[in-house]
Structures are given as structure tokens and as C-alpha cells.
Structure 1
């Protein structure tokens, strides 16, 4: 029997976050993906280094790749060090990959990494979102809505 997936992912230590993605994109669904890393990349991430600010994911030949994510070289890595901006393979089920490929190809959606973190078992994971880009008027509308929600909460706390 298939174990039900938790609604939110079990994030123990968040290493890198793409905070701008929630503003620039309308997030549709999120997926938790494993990431294939070398030893020095894991050590560098455990020290809290890494950036996914300008990165994205793409489906190529039935595999999902994280492109343009920066994991700086490990300080004590000597000749075994890794290349900081190399494409990294994301580990997903085949069914999930085909869903993502279909959405990107048909609907013009984008695969955006939201965060890199270590779960409770110590495995490096990527929170990957299937998203649609927002235009400038949409961003303004989103900001107004967000401000109004914040104001609503403030009013409810004061009066209630």
C-alpha cells in the first residue's frame, strides 16, 4: 500500500531559498526532489553555502536537471572539488517527470526551485515548483492582496 505524502515537506535545515520566486511566479504545485551531489557539494551545503536565486530546472531526455544553481567549492576540497555551477540531476519518479514534462511543454509553465534543504534523515532535497510567470500588473495585484491580508490580520488582532 502506498504511504500518503505529507502536505508539507519535512525541512530540518534550509540551506538556500529562492524568496523572489513566490513573487515572480504563480506557484501551481510543489514537488520534493532528491538531488545527486558529489561529496564536496554536500559538505559545502552543510556549511550553509549555496544559492538558487537565478536557477531553474529543465526536463531533458526523461530526466530533470537543476541548472545554474551555485554551490561554491568546499574550502578543504583540494583536487576533488566540484564545479560550482554544474547542472545537477534531480531525482523524481517517472510519473512525476512525465507530468512535469507535459506541463512545461503544453502549458508553458516553468520549473522553479524554491529551496534546498536537508530532511530529517540528512538527505539533501530540493523543493521544486511548477509555476507560471507573472507579468507586472499581476505582481502589483498580488502585492495589494498580500498587504490587505496582512492588514486584515492586524485588524482582527486589535478588535478581536
Structure 2
């Protein structure tokens, strides 16, 4: 097991995190296209607060006031906000209730200009291809011919 990490030390890209926190708020359930349930909870330790994304039935078991140990978690940026996740094989273990010293500030899941700047380095490269010439190929039958109009292809890559 990894050593305990405080909320203030959680950074994007960190893996195999072990964090102990108290649940301050549980968010509403959102259903994904695949039918999974996900909710975001606000959690905190003595160094600050952060959001954690919790999936499926585990999310329904978590309540405000629960003290939980996250094992094998990871941190990532979602919509410009730092968020904790349970990793593959990760677990949330309830270890107590209500009695924990915590601080809601700083909130490390607030939108962060550094994370937003990092996201702005993402470049969207658009390639426009007209249908002209695609339908002219003799080896294409009408069922495989490209539709009239413009095909928009998007390639996304990250500048380092």
C-alpha cells in the first residue's frame, strides 16, 4: 500500500494514491450512456477539500460525515478541475464517522488557471475533405460512396 497522501499534495497524473478524508457533500446521480451511475462528492482532510468521482453502487453507499480511506486512487483534471477517482482495483473503505479535523479551504477542485493553461495547449487540428473525387472512384459502389458534402475529421494532440 502507498503512504498516505494529503489533499494538498494531490496533483494531476498521480496514481496509486491512498487518501483519508471526510465526506462533506454527496452530489446528484448522473447516468452515463452505458447505464452507469456516477456522482461527485466533496471531501476534505485537514489540508483542504477536493472532489471525488464515485461510480455505480458504491456512490449510493457514501453519506456526508463518512470518514473514508481511498486506496489505489488517482487524480486527473476534469473540466479544468482536479478530481480524485478510484483506480482499477481501487477501493473506498469506510473507517469512521463524523470525528475528523478538516478544512474546506483551499478547495483544490476549484478551476485552476494552471490546469486551464495546460488544457489550452491542446490543439484541435481540423481537416476538411470534400466529397469531390471520393464518389468518382471506380472501385467504390454506391453503398460505400461518401455522402455529398463535407467530411469533418478532428485530430486532437497535446503539445509538450
Report the TM range for the smaller structure's normalisation: under 0.3
Of structures 1 and 2, the one scoring higher in RCO (CA 8 A, sep 6+) is 1
More strand by share: 2
Higher helix share: 1
Structure with higher Rg: it is 2
